[in-house]
Each structure stands twice: as structure tokens, then as C-alpha cells.
Structure 1
Amino acid sequence: MSIKSVAAKLFAGKIYHQTKTWANKPVETQLAVFKNLIKDAKRTEFGIDHHFDKIKTYEDFRKNVPVRDYEDLKTYIDKVRTGEKDILWKGKPLYFAKTSGTTSGAKYIPLTKESMPTHVNAARNAILHYINETGNADFVDGKMIFLQGSPILTEKYGIKFGRLSGIVAHFVPKYLQKNRMPSWETNCIEDWDTKVNAIVDETIKEDMSVISGIPAWVQMYFERLQEKSGGKKISEIFRNFNLFIYGGVNYEPYRAKFEQMIGKKVDSIELFPASEGFFAYQDSQKEKGMLLLLNSGIFYEFIKADEFFTENPKRHTIGEVETGVNYALIISTNAGLWGYNIGDTVQFTSLFPHRVIVSGRIKHFISAFGEHVIANEVEKAMKEATEATKTVINEFTVAPQINPSGGLPYHEWFVEFENEPENMQVFEEAIDNSMRKQNIYYDDLITGNVLRKVVVTKVSKNGFQEYMKSQGKLGGQNKIPRLSNNRDIADNLK
């Protein structure tokens, strides 16, 4: 056992005990975060506009600070982007993480001196919890790859701009620099196709022990490795690869394909990072869900998803949440986001400690007929259907077909198969049965002959990659939405 792996185990034990201390006191921990946020932002323009000097309790905060999305905060953010100080948070941010997804184009999310370390520490602590629980630290001596965006940054008004993953690349600890891949030069390649090929060339003869990234793009990397190696399994190319770290999407729809490509099962760690904050990570290989980070400069509120679009929905704090309920996640942070709807929905799998799964997006659902189907439901249905029919898929998305040429409307599942089911009707029925068990509204629509059962449409090999490429979203942190309430993606795939 190396000195580095021994040190990692000792450090892992220390972090585990620190985590246990705050996780066992969730309400007190969040109250302390709340008070510090209000105190530190009291003299900002936002704090003055919203009477932070008079906020003594959470009730005061709720009355003074409404729930907002990016568009509602944009006036303040635009001032920060032009170099003004003390607008949303004291001083100026260190960075703006550029991301997509609003009606006005790109979003620019501030990262401050106070918020930036939480992104770095959370990723580190996820690995340390894995080491503490499993005792496995040998991988720290091997090479590690993080498939991410370009670390090239621009600067304006003393603030640097870039993709979150590219910004984080500047904070890789020194003790990991020699192990980290790909090279800085390769990481700076903007074109994803070119970049993946360069990464393959650099890594194919290395001792890769940890591989990290969004599953869809790691899958693309694996496919290129196999092409280059003459069809070898990933475990034959990287004999010490035993840990996969991922975030952004649910791994389950990809798991069967990954295990087929790798040639064995490997441990995995799920992360829940976003430009707005690093919210949770998988702290146990034995328990379901990810530990919600309650002491990382983020104050959380939760709105039940089925009440979100009603007038004045109730906002819940950490002490009021229940397991199994679908909540929209609302945050206030030490980067200057206040009552901010990040767009993700979560469900608690346990309380004490508070663990969550990401159940979908508050705007990514299908409710063309009042069924309000969410991502977690379609992913579970796909998992059950592939297991029942011994099918392996590469990718899928779902959209409503409201006006079919004949017959009742339906949900159309666009699926890129690695190997097709022997009987497509059995596959479709397995999906439909799972959806009906999970979603009572969907079941009522089928029973009442408002909808017909699901229809699966096959997508050609690499069809999803070609679609993402056509949208300028190939690679990096981009991902296919599991659900759409319209036909925009569906029509492009067809």
C-alpha cells in the first residue's frame, strides 16, 4: 500500500466524522447557513431592496424574498456582469459559469470566493466517503480522467467567464495533478469529436483507475476506445479501472450497456453538481440516494412539484420534508442567488441523514393530458423493460403524440438500441405496465381510452449524438432531456 493511499484513508476518516456532525443536526445546520447568508448580504443592493436588515426569521425571509428563476434575477446579474460591486453578494464574483437554457439565451451564474471551494470540496469528499466505507484507496495511485469542458476562460471587468467544468479544472489539487488526464492541451480542444479522439490517443496505454463524466459522453469515449483497440473490453484496456464517477443524469438506463462494454461491474459514485451549487453526492454504496449538503453555503427550500404552478405554493424547509414526495428545489446561496428555482426536482429517500435522488426537471415533464409524467418514472420503466426483455439501449427520450394520423394519442418513446428486444410488443407492454403502476393519472387515461399504450420508435445508431451535434450541444455538460411536453426533439429525431 502506497503512502498516498494510506494518507487518503486517514483523511477519509476525518471527513466522514466531520460530515456526520452536521448531517445529524440538519435543522440547526441550515439555520446557521441561513443567518450567515442574510448577515453577509445585508448591505448588497439585493439585500437593501429586500429589507435584509429586518429579516430575523425564515418567515421574514419568505415574505420579503419571492421564488425566482434566472429571468427574474437577470436585472441584478446584468449589473454584476458589467463590473458593479455589492449587487447580489459582497464584492464581485470570481467567475461566471456560462450555461444554456433560458428564453434569452445563455445563463451566467456567479461563483464567488465563498462558493467556489464548496464545488471543489464536495467532489473530493464524495471520493473520500467511498474510501472510508469500502477501504478501497488503491485507485489513488492510478490515472484519473475527468471528461469535461474546455478550461479556457475569458475575462471582462475583472471577472472570468467559462463553463463550470472548465472553471473547476483550475482547482484540481496538486497531489492529483500527476494522475489527472487528459493533458491540459487536449482538454482545451473545443470540438468534442476531435477532443474525444485525442483523449483516446492519450489514455489508451495508461493505467486508468477512475473515469468520470456524464454517462452519454463517457459511453462515446468507451466506443472510441473499443474501435481503437480492435474491440477489446474496457476492463482489458484498463485492468485497474474499478470506479466510475458520474452526474447530470440517472446512470440506470446506461448501466447494462456500460457493464457490457466494460466487461465487468465497477463501483460508481453519483454526484449532483450544477453551476448554481454542488448540492449532493453519494456518500454510501449501500444506501439509496445522495447526501444533501446542508453546510455548504446553500439554504434550501422545497415546493411540492404538483403545487409548484399554483398561486403562492407552500415553501418547506429541511425540517418539514417527507420521503417519496416530488419537490422543486429552491436555493439561496453564498454566490448571491436568492429564492432561486434551479429547475430540478428531488425526492428524499431518507431523513437523518437527508438523502435525495434527482427525479427530473420541473419543466421537463409530459402533461399533455394531465398525467404529469416525470423523468424518474420513465427511467424506472425503461430499466424494468430492458431487464425483462434482456435488452440493452444507448439512449432514449419521450414525447407526446397529440395528433396521430389515426387512433388515440399516445406517448412516443424514441429509443436507440444496442440490441433490440426479440419481441417489441413485449418491450412496449413492459414499459406501459410500469408507467401505469407508478402514475395513477396515466393509468386513468389508458383505462378511460383517452390514451393508447406507448409506441416505441427506433432511433438509428448514433442518432442522439447526431441530434446533439446539430444543436451545437455535443459533449461537455450537455445532455438529452428525458421528457418533452412538445415535439421539438421528437421531430428532429424523426
Structure 2
Amino acid sequence: MIKYLSGYLTSFFLKKRIKNIESFMRYPIEIQKNLMNKLIFYAKNTEFGNKYGFSDIKKYKQFSERIPLCKYSDIKSTIKRIQKGEKNILWPGSVKWFARSSGTTNEKSKYIPITKLSMYECHYKAGKDVLSIYIHNHPNTKIFFGKAIRLGGSYTLYKNYNTFFGDLSSILIKNMPFWAESICIPKKKISLISEWEKKLYNLVQTTGNKDVRILFGVCSWLLIFLNKLLSKLNKKNINEIWPNIEVIFHGGVSLEPYIQQYRKIFNKPINYYNIYSASEGFFAVQDNNSVEDLLLLLNHGIFYEFIPIEEINNTSPKVLSIDSVELNKNYAMVISTNAGLWRYIIGDTVKFTNLYPHRIYISGRITHYINSFGEELIVSNAEKALNNTCMKTNSIINEYTVAPIYISDNNTGAHEWVIEFKKTPKSFYKFRDILDKELKMLNSDYETKRHKDMVLRPPVLCIVRNGLFYDWLKKNKKLGGQNKIPRLFNDRKYVDSILSMEKNTFKKYL
């Protein structure tokens, strides 16, 4: 009885948030303008605010002209000062928490400040709005009558002076509000285990007998957990274990390469809602289960700007606010946040699929693309082409990554696709040819470079054993959490590192 009362109350309060969401959907320009002014007001007496004259910034033009664009390397020394306890530097007061993130573009860690305001007015607020949107779309849902599994990152809390740093998901679990903690499993003691494989074992041991209705996590790591659970309980599908399972909220990596595996382990349809969050903030959520684009969250402590991707390497690139973006153009995203990041280039690229309300999809990262031959292949092209190819060849992949094969004296260039299959196609050559055709359909630059093999020859498939990518992540201490396989890279750094573990036992199809 208590759990049903609690479920109804949670649902009742979350439903009320839909009005706030509808407000920034209707008035995006006004909401973002007010947010910019609010951020400037809060930080006007900080060291950064004094340096750039925040006190008399009234318009976006002043904001964009005074404050320089930056990357992490530009503010690294400043963040070190904040970690040592210095106050009022980028944001008023001191900062206690820092999310350590290395991503896939740099071996060195980044330490992203997490203020109390950003924790509650960005991350937790967005989390509530994700649930509010789901309830609005599924008014008869019973998700709050059961439990939610949260699959957080590997947690090790380090103390440096008077500040703490660790994985973002674990920082959020550590500070989670009571109402959210009450529906989540496992307990913090298990969620915050630092060693991924030990945590996975405990998850499998303790969750099979619960009434689970929601899953939160990165879809690649959730899949590993679900397969382990099926194996332990000797079940064919997840619905035998959790008959009331209803929705997966996922982010971090695209679901597209894994969707066939998910469909295989569920014997009835469930809902998948994509969320777009990072250490720097919670940016967008899928607000309609029938489409794949994401609603940009415009009233969650983040002021957005966008650099046309063709301008990204310019000394003074053109930068646009939300009122000037266009549909179907590739932009690098720039954020100013209530954690003290100012005009920070996060490295992700997005395209707008809709204006008023503003919806996006993640097209890739500034460094995650292949343009060694002018083909401008981005992650979204690769994901879509690969998924279509798997459908047409009745195959399923576990993981993949792609890198260029450079032009040599005797050969034109090519793309090498290193693929780990869960279910292999009948013909790898047919798979390769269909993949090539799909890429041509999705990317005109790729199609041009492939014309008569003059610049690019057909893709090269490199088929590797099951578990290789997992072993590579383990070797590089990147198991669990937000860690992910680098999908596309403009050099062979990751591909050569992965294949070096195989000792030539892989097979290539030229």
C-alpha cells in the first residue's frame, strides 16, 4: 500500500513540471536571454566577472565580444586554483565537487566544476523533467510503483585540499535527493563500488528478485549487465525476470548499434528515451518516443551558443545564439553554465531538426570524424549506415570503431572498420558492399570520393573476436560509467591500439 501511495505522489508532483517545460518550448529566445542575464548577474563580482566587465553587460553582443571562447586547456590552471580552495574565481563562493572526465579524445583527465546550483538546477532538475515528459507521454504509466536500476560509473572519491573529485554519475548518486533515492536500486553501497566488475557481480546478485520498471545508464554497459543477469538466472528474456519493465533512459553512446540486441532480450516492446548529458551539464532529452531527435533544455542553467562546423578552426569563428541557428547544419556547441564555465567548447557537434521548439540530434564530436580524404564522415552517418546494413544482412554487432587507411604508392585510401559481431552475416563481402552503399546514400562527400575508387576504395572489414573491445577498455582502465569506444577517428591511434592486442588473429576482408 505504501509503495502505491508513494508512486501516486511522485507521479502527481512530477506531472506539474510539464508547464515549465512547455514554457521554454514556447519562448526559447526570451528564456535564454533571461538566463544569460541571470548567469552574468550571479558572477559579476567574481574574478572572471571583474576581468570581463560583467557589471555592464546588457546584451548578447557585449557578452560575445568581451568573453573569449575557451577549451579545457585554456582554463585548466584556473580550475586547479579552484580545486585548491580559492573562492570567487569563475563562480561565487567555493566549489566542493569536480567531475573527473577523460572522454575519448584525451588520455589526461578533465576536472569539471560541479556547483551546488548546477547540481540541483541543471542535473537534478533535468532528471525530474525527463520523468515528467515520460509521464506526460504515458499517462497510465506505473513506473513509480516499482524500482529503478541506476548503473552509475566506477566510483572512487578523491580528496584534494578541501575539494572532492570522481565520476559525475557517482557524485550525483552520492548527493541524490531523498525522493529519487527511495525508488532507486541498488543501494549506494553497491552503486558506489569503484571496481566495475565487482559492482557488476553485486548488481546481478541483488536485483533479479526486485520489481524493476526503469533502467538508467549507458546502453552499452546496461547490455552487459542484462546479459550477465540472464546468464545467472538461466532466463531467455528480461521480461521473465522483470515482467513490469517499461522504459530505459539511456545516454552516453548511441543506442543504434545495440538496438537489435535489446530487442532480442526483451520479449515485448519497451520504451527507449535518449538523454544527452555530460560532466558539463544536462543538455537535452527525447520528448517523443516516436522520433529520435532531442528537445534542447533551455531553462536549466546553461546558455547555448553554436559555431558552424566549417568555422571551428578559424581564429575568430562565427558564433550564433539560439535565435540565429538554422536547420540541418552542423554546429559545435558552446556553453556558459551555472558551474562557472564561460563560452566553453564542449567538443560535441549537433544539428537542429526543428525550431520552436528547438530539437537537435548529436551528429558527433569535433574530433570524432574521418576527413582524411575530404569525405567528412561523421558519427551519425556511420551509426545509421551500420544499423541499416545489419538489418539487411540479419547480423548484430557488439562494438566497432573506424579509422583511415592512408593513401600509399600502390593503393588509394580506405576506411578500416574494426567490428566485433554478436551475430555474423552470411557473407562479410556482402556486408561490406551494403555498408558502402548505405554510406554513399547518407553522405554525398563520401560518395564523391568513392567514385570509381579514385580517392577511396571500398571499406576494409577487420573482424575481431568477441570480447576484444571489453578487454581493451579494461586494459586502459575504462570499464563502466561514461567510458565508451571511440567510433570514428581521423588517425589510427585507437585502431592500432586495439588490434595490437590481437596478435594478427583477426581476419580482414578487402
User: Could you tell me which amino acid in structure 2 is paired with residue 337 of structure 1?
Assistant: L
Cross-structure match for 2:9: 7
Shift of 1:198: 1.2
Q: CA distance change for structure 1 residues 404 and 206 in 2, over 3 Å: closer, same or farther?
A: farther
Shift of 1:104: 7.7
Pairing 1:387-402 to 2, within 5 Å after superposition: 387-402=391-406
Pairing 1:311-460 to 2, within 5 Å after superposition: 311-402=315-406, 407-447=411-451, 449-460=454-465
Query: Contact 2:99–2:279 (CA<8 Å) still a contact in 1?
Result: yes
Cross-structure match for 2:475: 470
Structure 1 residue ranges without an equivalent (≥5): none
Cross-structure match for 2:112: 109
1:130 corresponds to which of 134, 142, 152: 134
Shift of 1:426: 2.0
Cross-structure match for 2:162: 158
Cross-structure match for 2:24: 22
Question: SS at 2:116's partner residue?
Answer: coil
Q: Deviations over 1:448-486 (max 9, x none)?
A: 511101122112111110111111101111011111111
**What TM-score, normalized to structure 1?**
0.96
Shift of 1:154: 3.3
Q: Deviations over 1:246-268 (max 9, x none)?
A: 01111111101111122332101
Q: Deviations over 1:124-165 (max 9, x none)?
A: 210121111111431211121111124553333432322110
User: Could you tell me which amino acid in structure 2 is paired with residue 457 of structure 1?
Assistant: C
Pairing 1:33-182 to 2, within 5 Å after superposition: 33-101=35-103, 105-117=108-120, 118-150=122-154, 152-182=156-186
Query: Contact 1:151–1:170 (CA<8 Å) still a contact in 2?
Result: no
Distance of 1:183 and 1:29 partners within structure 2: 38
Query: Contact 1:459–1:493 (CA<8 Å) still a contact in 2?
Result: no
Q: Give the root-mean-square deviation of aligned CA atoms.
A: 1.8
Query: Contact 2:150–2:186 (CA<8 Å) still a contact in 1?
Result: yes
Query: Contact 2:235–2:241 (CA<8 Å) still a contact in 1?
Result: no
**What TM-score, normalized to structure 2?**
0.93
Distance of 1:487 and 1:221 partners within structure 2: 30
Shift of 1:320: 0.8
Query: Contact 1:273–1:280 (CA<8 Å) still a contact in 2?
Result: yes
Identity among equivalent positions (%) equals 38
Q: Deviations over 1:166-188 (max 9, x none)?
A: 11102333234343111222223
Q: Deviations over 1:43-102 (max 9, x none)?
A: 111112222234222111211112110001112212111111110011112311111157
Shift of 1:211: 1.3
Query: Contact 1:69–1:341 (CA<8 Å) still a contact in 2?
Result: yes
Distance of 2:136 and 2:14 partners within structure 1: 5
Shift of 1:358: 1.1
Q: CA distance change for structure 1 residues 176 and 76 in 2, over 3 Å: closer, same or farther?
A: closer
After superposing the two structures, state which structure 1 stretch, 79-88 or 263-272, moved more: 263-272
Distance of 2:41 and 2:161 partners within structure 1: 26
Query: Contact 1:289–1:357 (CA<8 Å) still a contact in 2?
Result: yes
Distance of 2:131 and 2:19 partners within structure 1: 15
List structure 1 runs of 4+ shifted beyond 6 angstroms: none
Cross-structure match for 1:281: 285
Q: Deviations over 1:92-124 (max 9, x none)?
A: 123111111575821111111221112012112
After superposing the two structures, state which structure 1 stretch, 483-492 or 225-234, moved more: 225-234
Structure 2 residue ranges without an equivalent (≥5): 500-510
Q: Deviations over 1:302-341 (max 9, x none)?
A: 0111221133221011011112111100001111101100
Distance of 1:413 and 1:393 partners within structure 2: 12
Query: Contact 1:304–1:325 (CA<8 Å) still a contact in 2?
Result: yes
Shift of 1:403: 5.1
Cross-structure match for 2:270: 266
Q: Deviations over 1:390-449 (max 9, x none)?
A: 211111111111157963221011111111111222211221112112222211111151
Q: CA distance change for structure 1 residues 152 and 370 in 2, over 3 Å: closer, same or farther?
A: same
Q: CA distance change for structure 1 residues 59 and 198 in 2, over 3 Å: closer, same or farther?
A: same
Query: Contact 1:366–1:374 (CA<8 Å) still a contact in 2?
Result: yes
User: Could you tell me which amino acid in structure 2 is paired with residue 387 of structure 1?
Assistant: M
1:479 corresponds to 2:481: no
Distance of 1:6 and 1:344 partners within structure 2: 38
Query: Contact 1:97–1:275 (CA<8 Å) still a contact in 2?
Result: yes
Query: Contact 1:142–1:207 (CA<8 Å) still a contact in 2?
Result: yes
Question: SS at 2:95's partner residue?
Answer: coil
1:305 corresponds to 2:309: yes
Question: SS at 1:397's partner residue?
Answer: strand
Cross-structure match for 1:194: 198
Distance of 1:394 and 1:228 partners within structure 2: 20
Query: Contact 1:9–1:137 (CA<8 Å) still a contact in 2?
Result: no
Question: SS at 2:102's partner residue?
Answer: strand
